[in-house]
Amino acid sequence: MTQHASSTLAVPEVSAIPRHVAIIMDGNGRWASKRFMPRVAGHSEGLGAVRKIVQECRRLGVEYLTVFAFSSENWRRPPEEVGFLMKLFLKSLKSEVSRLAENDISLRLIGDLSRFDSTIQEMVQFSEEKTAGCKSLTFTIAANYGGRWDILQAMSRCLAANPGLKPEQVSEELLQPHLSMAYAPEPDLFIRTGGEQRVSNFLLWQLAYTELYFTDTLWPDFDEAELHKAFAWFSQRERRFGRTSAQLASESMSDAV
């Protein structure tokens, strides 16, 4: 597994199109409520938006797309909604895996999958194996995932892999390979739909230097045009990674010579 550099240890390459996009797909329930429909109808509609964004990211040259499908805190929702989400999750895996493989898209799942029933766990394993050789886009679904859980499980694995490790010896280089998304570079662009402006325990370690984009658009209405707006905003950001604007200008002049 390739280990990608931490943005706090090295300056990542910058491009107009984000290499890695992370999305919190918020607003499905409110989308349905506005139409006097049950909340679960919004989740079904949101699946169509996922298909559109996956395909558009692939077309635009995005290498990694990560979406927050179900957080470790979402178990607090009404049981009937959680049950529907589990059924929708399984149904979407069954229906989409062949489409992903045909489009050269690799599927990865991150999170504590042990809480899901065996049918879902088996389908996850099958889906990952079926698309393992795909190269155009790595599409990651975070399910029963939490950023704090990710850091804690990474530390546990790090200590297990390095017996006798002293506290002062713990470093980013040792910890990073054990994070859930060690196979991907840190996100360049974070998008949250639905109007809320928080990261909600999503990729807490990985979002250290990510550009944060918030939109009032509810997830089922987030289409290719909305994605282009987010990318246009991103292309105007000055990504300094701790440096000054003057340093960036100097480096640009040096590159031009």
Contacts of 185 (CB under 8 A, 6+ apart): 4, 5, 12, 19, 20, 63, 64
Residues of the chain with pLDDT > 70: what percent? 93
Mean pLDDT of the chain: 91
Q: Residue 82 burial (CB < 10 Å; 0-12/13-18/19+)?
A: middle
Q: Is 20 annotated as a binding residue?
A: no
Grouping H, G, I as helix, E, B as strand and the rest as coil, residue 135 is coil
Q: Is 4 annotated as a binding residue?
A: no
Length of the chain in terms of residues written: 257
The whole-number pLDDT of residue 100 equals 96
Homologous superfamily (CATH) for 20-146+186-239: Decaprenyl diphosphate synthase-like (3.40.1180.10)
How is residue 109 annotated by DSSP? Answer: E
74 is known as an active-site residue: yes
pLDDT, one tens digit per residue, over 214-225 is: 999 999 999 999
Q: Which two tokens stand for residue 231?
A: 């990318």
Q: Is 28 annotated as a binding residue?
A: yes
Please tell me which residue in 74, 103, 162, 201 is annotated as part of the active site: 74
Grouping H, G, I as helix, E, B as strand and the rest as coil, residue 38 is coil
- Which helix (H) or strand (E) covers residue 211, if one does? strand 211-214
Q: Is the pLDDT of residue 245 over 80?
A: no
The whole-number pLDDT of residue 254 equals 62
pLDDT, one tens digit per residue, over 1-47 is: 456 878 877 777 788 899 999 999 999 999 999 999 988 898 899 99
* 126-154 core/surface letters (b: 16 or more CB in 10 A; e: else): ebeeebeebebbbbbbbbbbbbebbbeeb
Q: Which two tokens stand for residue 75?
A: 């178990």
Give the domain ranges of the chain.
Answer: 20-146+186-239
pLDDT, one tens digit per residue, over 41-92 is: 988 999 999 999 999 999 999 999 999 998 888 888 888 888 888 888 898 9
State the pLDDT confidence band at 105, using cuts at 50, 70 and 90.
very high
Q: Is the pLDDT of residue 160 over 80?
A: yes
Q: Residue 206 burial (CB < 10 Å; 0-12/13-18/19+)?
A: buried
Report the alpha-carbon distance of residue 189 to residue 17 in Å, rounded.
9
Q: Is 76 annotated as a binding residue?
A: no
Q: Is 61 annotated as a binding residue?
A: no
Report the alpha-carbon distance of residue 124 to residue 156 in Å, rounded.
24
103 is known as an active-site residue: no
Q: Is 205 annotated as a binding residue?
A: no
- The mean pLDDT of 128-136, rounded to a whole number, is 97
Report the alpha-carbon distance of residue 150 to residue 176 in Å, rounded.
11
Q: Is 192 annotated as a binding residue?
A: yes
The whole-number pLDDT of residue 248 equals 62
How is residue 201 annotated by DSSP? Answer: T
Q: Is 219 annotated as a binding residue?
A: no
